[in-house]
A and B are shown apart, each in its own frame.
Chain A
Amino acid sequence: MSTKLPKVPAVIVGMGWAGGIIASELTKAGIKVVGIERGKERTTNDYLMGHDELRFQHRTELMQDLSKETITHRNDPNMRALPMRSYGTFIVGDGVGGAGSHWNGQTYRFLPYDFEIKSLTEEKYGTNKLGSEYTLQDWGITYDEIEPYYDTFEKMAGISGETVEMYGHRSNPYPTGPMVKTPTFELFEEATKKLGYHPYMLPSANLSENYTNPDGISRSACQYCAFCENFGCEYGAKADPVVTVIPVAKETGNLDLRTHSNVTRILNDGTKATGVVYVNTITGEEFEQPADVVIVTSYVFNNVRLLLNSNLGTPYNPETGEGSIGKNYCYQVSAGATTLFYEDKAFNNYAGAGALGIEIPDFAGDNFDHSDVNFIHGSGIRMTQYGNRPIAINQVPSGTPSWGAEFKKQSIKYANSTLQVKSQGASMPHKDNYLDLDPEYKDAYGMPLLRMTYDYTEQDKELVKYMSKVTRKIAEKIGADHYETTEEQATFNVNVDTNTHNTGGVIMGADSKTSAVNSYLQMWEAENVFVIGASAFPHNSSFNPTGTIGALSYRASEGIIKYLKDGGGSLV
């Protein structure tokens, strides 16, 4: 039996970047908000014992407890999907701050090309460039329309970077200057310039200098301590909802934050939501929280799963192409890379930061001609310095055994003597890559798990082959004693480490027949439900997703405030 609580104007499901930004904007506008988070409460003090590779990276301390909920995976519809029982390829954040606590802080904008990818690709390369099985769509919003929201997000987070001419125009420069250029980045810079490319320092949410944002939040500069990815930042230098938007929302007195609370269903009549049901994960008590507006801001997987488990929206059918919930699940392709080995040079690669990197824009989006290649879009080609931690990073020349005397000797010899030129490539949607409910496996509360049907496509494989050659060319220009290049994209494997840039499933667009939400992230089929996150991306670009999630969250906030003020209606 659930306890019914008093109705509130807005309930938010998930308190990461999207939930935190929306909570901050709504509460500043005087709207009472209940924020529901399944994980625990967090402050910067909690990060003080944070420099622990085992606990945070390998025992995934900040991540969702898979014993309660996971996903199942299969490579194609003819396979039986099996549960991801422990973490392998991606990690899912948990607790206040969500993925915004454990992220690296690489904060890009997507390209003007991304938002109109179908139209622009057809205009330049005709309608058959990829084939009809690739379900490419425009986003229902242009770069010019989303630009002001990117600007707002970057100012709130204090993004450190430099303007890149080959990307979309900026109404303002980055609020703080770029991160330090390390000696190895100077090697990359020199080599890529010689090859005619245009290197730039990667845009970073690890502050390059002390910064006070428009909300009055002051944070101190990054110390390059090398514990970003998988870790919280005890300095507050890394932008995190816990040190930016959440304290602002709390300060208004309008945020009722409920942790250890897991939403299992959105109550609805098919066209409108009336509230949510959640379980206290510690006591097992169930509550019903009625609200005028339900704002779904959990991770990609749970955004999709919650809608499907609540019978909200029309599930995607891969046979007919109809329906939208679960459609256009995308990922990224990062296989193409070249490792440089040095016999008698050592680098301070134990130092670093999550968004410390240098990159070229020349192979991103449509910045190069695709007439003679069998793929569209592209990759960022980059060198990063996150800090090489010793359990995770043991680079040895291929042919070295994975254990024993030779492994020990080589892994220690090269511990500080390798560099890497790598690529992170875009991911295009395919009709057979989608999300739905698993017919067999359930979570700890008896609700079906999300099932992922996904494999890399021909487009992905062609892209990786091409980009791996670029990484090799740059590596050879930099110079090393020995190079090793990964040239091919292998089959998708839920065990193999790639990244956590999962996207799609509740995609945005201009047409209610082919998308789930409009450009304010308002559901076409339930006007008082807003679903925000990378779940809204109709495809995935080559860039890290958080900048775009942030921009969409500010846009959605504007829409939700208007919706509540107007007393309902479609925002488009």
Chain B
Amino acid sequence: MEESEKYGLDEKGSSRRKFLRNSGVAAGGVVVGSVLGGLIGFGGEKQHQAPKTEHEHAAPAANPNAALMFFTPDQYQTTIAATERIFPADENGPGAADLNVAIYIDHQLASPWGINAKDYMLGAFYKAEATQQEQVRILRKDLFLLGLKGLDDYSGNKFDSKFTSLEGEQQDEILTEFENGEYKLSGVSSSIFFDLLRILTIEGAYADPMYGGNKDMEGWAMRKFPGSRMNYNNEVVSKEFIELEPESLQSHMGH
């Protein structure tokens, strides 16, 4: 027992214990997750209810996050239009436009990820074989703008219009050609841009709302994903599907 106290993470390292201390819950003896989870609001019956089904578009509450730090207003509009075709509004719920996916993308491209900060960018960029990774020297932030410009240029050539002014089917036609690498951007295949656009759209729909997209966690709610809860002891053994209201990382603050 002395050994246990000597190295016991209960005292030294357990963040769970700190949760409890900070929550003012007296914790004596053995830690049992489900019980405490209920006590400190990470689970429990009251949350086993269906999420709202109506997606109200109330007047935007002040959301200082929904502003541009990278795009120009025109680039932002083109991004909204393109991402909405990739992830459109339908009977399931909002599409990329209403989920603020373009805000998410704006913020990502302004981040260190936008300048490939953790990628290997040294040495020569040779043409890759099919089984090797594409060797792209262009930074993501530049590639994305190159792609947006490409969408507008190609729309102009083909339909004599800006991308944002096209009909949905026309936009799909352009995006499909980009996906297939049929339009040449300077220095890179349009398919590389399209892949970036597609993955950023999925991320913007489903990443934690603190990143700017997945507005009001409606991306998660559509697919009945509960976000980032602290335990699923009941759900993991339940034969019935349990729909939980999503919670974001903000619910972990202060613990």
Picked from B32, B126, B227, B255, the residue with its CB within 8 Å of the CB of A82 is: B126
Chain B residue at minimal CB-CB distance from A67: B118
Give the distance to chain B from A217, nearest Cβ to Cβ, in Å: 5
| Interface locus among B13-21, B66-74, B158-166 | B13-21
A264 vs B160: C-alpha distance when bound (angstroms):
58
A234 within 8 A of B: yes
Within 8 A of B (CB), among A506-549: none
Contact B85 A225 (CB under 8 A): no
A487 vs B16: C-alpha distance when bound (angstroms):
44
A83 vs B120: C-alpha distance when bound (angstroms):
8
A495 vs B130: C-alpha distance when bound (angstroms):
10
A51 within 8 A of B: yes
Contact A49 B13 (CB under 8 A): no
Question: A235 to chain B: which residues have CB within 8 Å?
Answer: 14-16, 33
B149 within 8 A of A: no
A348 within 8 A of B: yes
- The interface bits of chain A over 132-157 (1 if a CB of B lies within 8 angstroms of the residue's CB, else 0) are 00000000000000000000000000
Give the distance to chain B from A135, nearest Cβ to Cβ, in Å: 23
Within 8 A of B (CB), among A26-84: 43-45, 47-49, 51-54, 58-60, 65-67, 69-70, 73-75, 79-80, 82-84
Contact A390 B223 (CB under 8 A): yes
Number of residue pairs A-B, CB distance < 8 angstroms: 238
Q: Tell me the interface secondary structure of chain B in the complex.
A: loop
Contact B124 A182 (CB under 8 A): no
Contact A405 B90 (CB under 8 A): yes
Contact B113 A182 (CB under 8 A): no
Contact B30 A348 (CB under 8 A): no
Within 8 A of A (CB), among B1-48: 3-10, 12-16, 18, 30-34, 37
- The interface bits of chain A over 335-354 (1 if a CB of B lies within 8 angstroms of the residue's CB, else 0) are 00000000000111011100
Give the distance to chain B from A170, nearest Cβ to Cβ, in Å: 25
A398 vs B237: C-alpha distance when bound (angstroms):
30
Question: B87 to chain A: which residues have CB within 8 Å?
Answer: 403, 407-408
B50 within 8 A of A: no
Question: A350 to chain B: which residues have CB within 8 Å?
Answer: 224-226, 232, 235
A348 vs B231: C-alpha distance when bound (angstroms):
13
Question: B206 to chain A: which residues have CB within 8 Å?
Answer: 53, 390-391
Quick one: given A223-B37, A223-B230, A346-B241, are A236 and B207 in contact (CB under 8 Å)? no
Question: A215 to chain B: which residues have CB within 8 Å?
Answer: 3, 7
Within 8 A of A (CB), among B211-255: 211, 219-220, 222-233, 235-239, 241-242, 249, 252, 255
A contact residues, range: 35 or more
Give the distance to chain A from B113, nearest Cβ to Cβ, in Å: 6
Which of B's residues lie within 8 Å of A, judged by CB?
Answer: 3-10, 12-16, 18, 30-34, 37, 85-88, 90, 92, 95, 113, 116-124, 126, 128-129, 131-133, 135-136, 172, 175, 179, 198, 201-203, 205-208, 211, 219-220, 222-233, 235-239, 241-242, 249, 252, 255
In the complex, the 7 A-B pairs of residues with the closest C-beta atoms, listed nearest first: A51-B228, A351-B232, A216-B3, A223-B231, A346-B241, A415-B223, A390-B206
Which of A's residues lie within 8 Å of B, judged by CB?
Answer: 43-45, 47-49, 51-54, 58-60, 65-67, 69-70, 73-75, 79-80, 82-86, 88, 180-183, 210, 212, 215-221, 223-227, 234-236, 242-243, 247-248, 251, 346-348, 350-352, 356, 385, 389-391, 394, 402-405, 407-409, 411-412, 415-416, 440-442, 444, 491-495
